[in-house]
């Protein structure tokens, strides 16, 4: 298993707000309109699962497998070309600010590691950037 970690992102909202929003995927409805249709073809979710079709990767579905309030939400792939685990750690900085880091553990075949490590790291950082910009009210 290969491990990819995002940079730590500061979020100008309390830890509890961030956790509450990330631990219920129905909250993705608030950002649905911001998802570029050229990047994601399908975007379906419920409280525990999100599925999307990302050209040229294909369909990716992840499911929440663990909630550790208010500091961590863990996800696992249900449907993906490459199996992975993803967890979002949320820690308080002060009463109105928190910090977040995303970690992905992917089952990347050894022969593909050199080719996919850079794009995977870039994707993890982009997801962290996007999550840091959501209003967690």
Task: Supply the pLDDT for residue 75.
Answer: 97
Identify whether the C-beta of residue 78 lies closer than 8 Å to the C-beta of residue 62: yes
Considering only residues 49 and 110, tell me which one the structure prediction assigns the higher pLDDT.
49
**How far is the C-alpha of 57 from the C-alpha of 25, rounded, in Å?**
22
Q: What is the pLDDT of residue 46?
A: 95
Summarised one tens digit per residue, pLDDT across range 21-44 is 999 999 888 777 777 777 788 889
Q: Output the pLDDT for position 86.
A: 96
Task: Indicate if the pLDDT at residue 84 is higher than 80.
Answer: yes
pLDDT over 90 at 64, yes or no = yes
- Percent of the chain, pLDDT > 90? 60
CA 73, CA 15: separation in Å to the nearest integer?
12
């Amino acid at each position: 298993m290969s491990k990819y970690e995002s940079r730590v992102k500061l979020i100008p909202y309390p830890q509890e707000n961030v956790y509450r929003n990330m631990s219920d995927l129905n909250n993705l409805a608030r950002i649905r309109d911001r998802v570029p249709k050229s990047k994601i073809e399908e975007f379906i979710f419920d409280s525990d699962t999100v599925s999307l079709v990302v050209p040229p990767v294909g369909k990716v579905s992840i499911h929440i497998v663990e909630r550790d309030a208010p500091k961590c939400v863990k996800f696992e792939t249900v449907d993906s070309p490459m199996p992975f685990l993803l967890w979002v750690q949320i820690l308080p900085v002060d009463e109105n600010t928190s910090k977040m880091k995303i970690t992905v553990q992917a089952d990347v075949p050894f022969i593909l590691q050199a080719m996919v490590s850079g794009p995977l790291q870039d994707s993890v950082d982009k997801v962290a950037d996007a999550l840091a910009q959501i209003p967690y009210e």
